[in-house]
Chains A and B, each alone.
Chain A
Amino acid sequence: MYHSAALTALRRSPVRFWFTRWPWTSLAYLAIGALLWIFTLLAFTFIGTIPYWARWIATAERHRVRLAGFRPIPGRPPGAGLPGLQEPLLWREIAFALAHMLIGLFSFVALITGTTLVFAAIVAVFVLAGVDTPLIQDPSQAPLLVPVGLLIVVASPYAVTLLAYVQGALATALLSPRAEELQTQVASLARANIAELDRFEGERQRIERDLHDGTQQHLATSAMRLGMLELDVRETFPPGPEQDSALESLEAVRRETELALDTLRDVVHGLRPRTLIDDGLGAALRELARRVPINATVDAEGVGRFALPVESSLYYIASEAVTNAIKHATPDHIHIELAATFDRIMLTVSDDGLGGANSAHGTGMVGMYERTSLLSGELIVDSPPGGPTRIIADIPRPY
């Protein structure tokens, strides 16, 4: 028994049901179905178009069932491309198109018959009232037509709603995604996320390489040229105020060049800590702990290497967590722990600070949540007011 708001309203109070919107929406649902039926008929005439039509009508149906009082049906996973015949969902969609052919035909006939009879009954009322009309050849049928018309008018809201319910329930049964399809969808989303992270990582790598091989190289070369220029100045200018002022200018330019290089070094480090790439996440976490101005310890023993996007994301989470702790919680000690089993990776950052960490603390926390969910994991923030704070990123280990 599928849930339909229309049917619920009908069962609750048949009399009041008359004045709800459901008879009308159900009628619209059936009418649209009847119209679409013509195209379904055409599609089944040209066999090759069946999959496309089945897919289209299923997509329309997923939204259309709302008219019959159903919840919209979740669609197929996005980005699936053209329907593949090996896809079970497509076969169910074709089955629905077949069912639609029968129900649509039935709706079509029922709607036309019902409308005709009601119209005939109205005419019959006029005939009985003595109005002469060419529409009815045999006036003796008129007394019979009036009760039939009345009956249809009274019963049609219920009939229409029930028919719409049957079709809606059938659509829900056939077109809802199956559990294993959802499972596949989750897996493919996880894969897409890792691919997305990989792309992101590749992008960072490209930027870092461009900076290193381009900008940094040019700046270093110009620093060297300035050094040679200094030698020239010392050789060509006689010692005195002229040489002094030239050397002073050179020194100023060189300081700027070195400053630019210092800044770039920080940027490049922020993009991709070398240690992370060369020696892995454990080493990078230890380096992170050394960099912070407070006492920080790391326990990452016996954890091997993971895929670079995973290591990068976890490093980012750890670095954000540490930065947050120092900025907001004024702890005395921070402890970072990295542990891995055969199917999970857990990163824990704990501090003995003030606690009360939440996502209101700027975008850092939000970024941590995003990174964790991209890795299909979860981020647990345990930070009661007064501390201590524990932030745990628990992710599945990708293969």
Chain B
Amino acid sequence: MRVVIAEDAALMREGLTALLQRFGHQVVHAAEDADELLRAVSDHRPDVVITDVRMPPRNLDDGLRAALTIRAEHPGIGILVLSQYLGDAYAAKLIAEPANGPRGGGAGYLLKDRVGRVTDFMHSLDVIAGGGIVIDPKVVGHLMSSGRPHALDTLSEREREVLGRMATGESNAHIAAGLHVTEGAVVKHIGNIFAKLGLQAQDGNRRVLAVLTYLQAARPEDP
């Protein structure tokens, strides 16, 4: 796939480029700051954007802001945000921004160290390119452990685990293998999760909705 990356640290930028090329992807542009990223996306219209959160010009959350801008202007482009923070507000801002249109691009929020899990990382990229949602298991765990009364609290330990894995874009077969249960058991768990979160069959992509519910729990009430 065609990828634009944005990362201000040279070593990381080069490493990412090499890694993506090794897996046969094409890095059409490697930007060093948020403005350059926006220009590159307009020029190249990539399939997926991979961006760091903190980068020039302001060295605050410029990368994430650029990602939200891209989401609004080019809803078909998948976006993967790499972060050093478990910051739930960050993840929520990105994931809760619905991609308009039938071919809404996927979105992901991964911790930077996840890149080292090469196979996982590439799998996440495929999920995002396919319009799916990926959230770092550590971020998920962090959200899970928050002690706020919420619909999520009604889930059993096992159901949470299943939802957490769903949130990272795993397939049912994958989840079943990871938890050493049958695929049928996973389907039953997922049914229970949807029921408990009050999601109807006609809600479209229920998987994504479940994950969204999950992240809404972490969203600051005021935008």
Q: Is the C-beta of A279 less than 8 angstroms from some C-beta in chain B?
A: yes
Structural contact, B15 and A225, CB atoms closer than 8 A: yes
> How many whole Å from B149's CB to the nearest CB in chain A?
7
Listed residue (A212, A220, A269, A283) with the most chain B CB atoms within 10 angstroms of its CB = A220
Alpha-carbon gap, A212 to B111, bound state (A): 13
A-binding segment of B28-36, B85-93, B157-165, B170-178: B85-93
Structural contact, B147 and A220, CB atoms closer than 8 A: no
Structural contact, A275 and B87, CB atoms closer than 8 A: yes
Residues from chain B with Cβ under 8 Å of A292 in the complex: 147
Structural contact, A287 and B88, CB atoms closer than 8 A: yes
B-binding segment of A94-102, A195-203, A253-261, A386-394: A253-261
Residues from 29 to 69 in B contacting A, C-beta threshold 8 Å: 54, 59-61
Alpha-carbon gap, A278 to B22, bound state (A): 37
Structural contact, B12 and A291, CB atoms closer than 8 A: no
- Determine the residue in chain B with the shortest Cβ distance to A219: B113
Structural contact, A290 and B61, CB atoms closer than 8 A: no
Residues from chain B with Cβ under 8 Å of A291 in the complex: 145-147
Structural contact, B116 and A217, CB atoms closer than 8 A: no
Known: A230-B118, A274-B89, A292-B147. A212 touches B84 (CB 8 A): yes
Structural contact, A228 and B84, CB atoms closer than 8 A: no
- Determine the residue in chain A with the shortest Cβ distance to B89: A275
Known: A224-B19, A283-B222. A296 touches B147 (CB 8 A): yes
Instruction: Please give the number of chain B residues whose Cβ is less than 8 angstroms from any Cβ of chain A in the complex.
Output: 37
> How many whole Å from B14's CB to the nearest CB in chain A?
9
Alpha-carbon gap, A178 to B18, bound state (A): 72
Known: A220-B12, A275-B89, A290-B218. A254 touches B147 (CB 8 A): no
Q: Is the C-beta of B117 less than 8 angstroms from some C-beta in chain A?
A: yes
Alpha-carbon gap, A221 to B19, bound state (A): 12
Structural contact, B54 and A212, CB atoms closer than 8 A: yes
Alpha-carbon gap, A138 to B121, bound state (A): 119
Residues from chain B with Cβ under 8 Å of A289 in the complex: 148
Residues from chain A with Cβ under 8 Å of B121 in the complex: 227
Alpha-carbon gap, A283 to B145, bound state (A): 18
Alpha-carbon gap, A254 to B121, bound state (A): 15
Structural contact, A221 and B9, CB atoms closer than 8 A: yes
Structural contact, A279 and B11, CB atoms closer than 8 A: no
Alpha-carbon gap, A225 to B115, bound state (A): 9
> How many whole Å from B106's CB to the nearest CB in chain A?
22
- Taking a contact as CB atoms closer than 8 A, the residue among A217, A227, A261, A283 that contacts B89 in the complex is A283
Residues from chain B with Cβ under 8 Å of A122 in the complex: none
Q: Is the C-beta of B24 less than 8 angstroms from some C-beta in chain A?
A: no
Known: A220-B115, A279-B89, A290-B147. A227 touches B19 (CB 8 A): yes
Q: Is the C-beta of A295 less than 8 angstroms from some C-beta in chain B?
A: yes
> How many whole Å from B19's CB to the nearest CB in chain A?
6
Alpha-carbon gap, A296 to B146, bound state (A): 11
Residues from chain A with Cβ under 8 Å of B60 in the complex: 277-278
Structural contact, B118 and A217, CB atoms closer than 8 A: no
Structural contact, A224 and B220, CB atoms closer than 8 A: no
Residues from chain A with Cβ under 8 Å of B90 in the complex: 274
- Taking a contact as CB atoms closer than 8 A, the residue among A224, A274, A275, A279 that contacts B16 in the complex is A224
Alpha-carbon gap, A203 to B113, bound state (A): 27
- Determine the residue in chain A with the shortest Cβ distance to B138: A262
Listed residue (A212, A217, A258) with the most chain B CB atoms within 10 angstroms of its CB = A217
Known: A227-B121, A254-B116, A286-B220. A221 touches B86 (CB 8 A): no
Structural contact, B15 and A221, CB atoms closer than 8 A: yes
Interface string of B1-28 (1 = CB under 8 A from A): 0000000010110011011001000000
Residues of B within 8 A of A (CB): 9, 11-12, 15-16, 18-19, 22, 54, 59-61, 84-90, 111-113, 115-118, 121, 138, 145-149, 218, 220-222
Residues of A within 8 A of B (CB): 209, 212-213, 216-217, 219-221, 223-228, 230-231, 254, 257-258, 261-262, 265, 268-269, 274-275, 277-279, 282-283, 286-287, 289-296
Known: A217-B12, A227-B117, A294-B147. 12 other contacts (CB 8 A): A212-B84, A220-B115, A223-B116, A227-B121, A228-B18, A257-B113, A261-B113, A265-B84, A275-B220, A283-B220, A287-B89, A292-B147
